[in-house]
Amino acid sequence: MHPALDAFLADRDRPTPYLVLDPAVVARRHADVVAAFPGAEVLYAVKACPHPAVLRTLVAAGAGFDAASPAEVDLCLAAGADPARIGLGNPVRGAAATAAAHRAGVRRFVTDSVEDLDELAAHAPGAAVLVRLLVDDSGSATPFFGKFGATPQVATDLLRACASRGLVAAGVTFHAGSQQTRPTTYAAGVAAALAVARDAGLQHPVLDVGGGLPVAYRADVPSFTEFAAAIGGVDGIDAAQLVLEPGRALVAEAGVLRTSVLRVSRRPGVDHRRWVYLDAGRYQGLAETENEAIGYPLRVPGRDGPCGPVVLAGPTCDGDDVLYRRTPYALPLSLRAGDHVDLLHAGAYTASYASVGFNGFGPLPVHIAPAHPS
């Protein structure tokens, strides 16, 4: 199906675990999004996979970028991105980061509070502002539980308050949660966002529908075209400039995460299922198995025959480092330690979560307090 990935994976001697990416798949997925949403601007959400080869591929394809931090802005610039095509989509930055992004040439910022609007006025003068609206994100595998977003009234007030602060009220954005499988959720978000733009007096608002386009992991999902039809059917959409911020949908299918089986344990008295311990788990890139939110398709090269139920676990001594306990997975009864298990569609939110700088926020510094003379 993906010849470049399959050819790479044919070498069975390479040490595991690792992620292999095919940028050509990223380019193809980007082209599919562009074809489904003609005229829309696509900003790739960098955190899904910030690898320079992915960013360069998307620069060449004409994409822009949704960044959350100065470090992500720098990655985009290093890949050749035009700062005019970078949006700072994180409504919580801090003054120093806001100023750094502005110095780097970023002129579009997302906000969701008056506190942040004041920060933008002080550190990103003249910037174009999108207000993030709190929307229903049911249907998402990883909902936000209200972490970001303003109510319609507050969002309208924020847009109206831009001009007096030297900022440009550009439009409205929302994020309906990642792996969002319901086109109707987008349609509802779009309708709510257009109403806010109208109340704020914007004639031709930017309408940024965020990320969330889903990937067919182990079950089918609606096509890009179905999402486009739902969004395009909302009254008033024609006056808006549509922006999308896909992350997962562009990179997931471009990656395979190859692991090795460390142990297959039968656990009489504990579980009737075999426990399969892999050499990658929650802390080696499989963060999205938390709550079993994302269920990757699995492949066991070189093994076939009858399958039986398994629990899949990671290698660390942390009790949370169990990938799938409730989600039914079955693997060949012939599975042995040393076999490879490939996690498919694993290009999104794996390498980035396994880094010590997810979303461009660095690792926790550790200081040793000198002995205190007492």
Ligand X SMILES: *Cc1c(COP(=O)(O)O)cnc(C)c1O
Q: Considering beta carbons, is residue 7 or 35 the nearer one to ligand X? A: 35
- Please report whether residue 213 would count as binding ligand X according to CB under 6 A: yes
Question: Tokens representing 31?
Answer: 């082209």
Give the β-pairing of 241-244 and 41-45. parallel
Interface positions, 59-118, toward ligand X (CB under 6 A) = 66, 89
Say which residue the tokens 């390498």 belong to.
351
76 is catalytic: no
Contact, 307 vs 154, CB < 8 A?
A: no
Angle at the Cα of 231 (from 230 to 232), degrees rounded to 5?
Answer: 95
Residue placing its CB nearer to ligand X in the complex, 112 or 342: 112
Per CB under 6 A, does 211 bind ligand X? yes
Stretch that binds ligand X, among 7-15, 195-203, 221-229, 239-247 (CB under 6 A): 239-247
What is the helix (H) or strand (E) element at residue 179, kind and residue range?
strand 178-180
Query: Between 9 and 129, whose beta carbon lies closer to ligand X?
Result: 129
The stretch among 50-58, 193-201, 246-254, 271-279 that binds ligand X (CB under 6 A) is 246-254
User: How many residues sit in the footprint of ligand X (CB under 6 A)?
Assistant: 16
Q: Name residue 160's amino acid.
A: R
Which strand (E) or helix (H) includes residue 259? strand 255-267
Q: Which stretch binds ligand X (CB under 6 A): 11-19, 115-123, 240-248, 285-293?
A: 240-248
Parallel, antiparallel, or unpaired for β 298-299 and 255-267?
unpaired
Answer for which of 45, 58, 76, 240 binds ligand X (CB under 6 A) is 45
* Binding residue for ligand X, selected from 29, 30, 47, 273, defined by CB under 6 A: 47
Strand duo 18-21 + 255-267: pairing = antiparallel
Near ligand X by CB under 6 A, which window of 40-48, 162-170, 253-261, 296-304? 40-48
189 near ligand X, rule: CB under 6 A: no
Residue of the chain from 246, 281, 315, 360 that contacts ligand X (CB under 6 A): 246
Burial (Cβ within 10 Å: 0-12, 13-18, ≥19) of residue 221: middle
The vertex-36 CA angle with 35 and 37, nearest 5°, equals: 95
Is 47 within 8 Å of 247 (Cβ atoms)? yes
| 245, 253, 339, 342: residue in contact with ligand X (rule CB under 6 A) | 245
In the complex, minimum distance from the CB of residue 89 to ligand X, in angstroms, rounded to a whole number: 4
Q: Give the footprint of ligand X on residues 160-179 (CB under 6 A).
A: 175, 178
Identify whether the C-beta of residue 132 lies closer than 8 Å to the C-beta of residue 91: yes
Of 17-25, 194-202, 241-249, 259-267, which part binds ligand X (CB under 6 A)?
241-249
| Per-position DSSP letters for 25-41, written without gaps between them | HHHHHHHHHHHHSTT-E
CB of 16 to ligand X, least distance (A): 25
In the complex, minimum distance from the CB of residue 176 to ligand X, in angstroms, rounded to a whole number: 9
Least distance in angstroms from the C-beta of 65 to ligand X: 11
* CB neighbourhood size of 179 (10 A): 24
Residue tagged 């910037």 (tokens): 127
List 248, 274, 282, 340, residue binding ligand X (CB under 6 A): 248
Question: Can you tell me which of 48, 79, 155, 162 binds ligand X, judged by CB under 6 A?
Answer: 48
Q: Residue 292 — left, alpha, or beta (φ > 0 → left; ψ -120 to 50 → alpha)?
A: left
Q: What phi, psi does 128 have (nearest 5°)?
A: -85, 130
Binding-site ranges for ligand X (CB under 6 A)? 45, 47-48, 66, 89, 175, 178, 210-213, 245-249
Residues annotated as part of the active site:
317
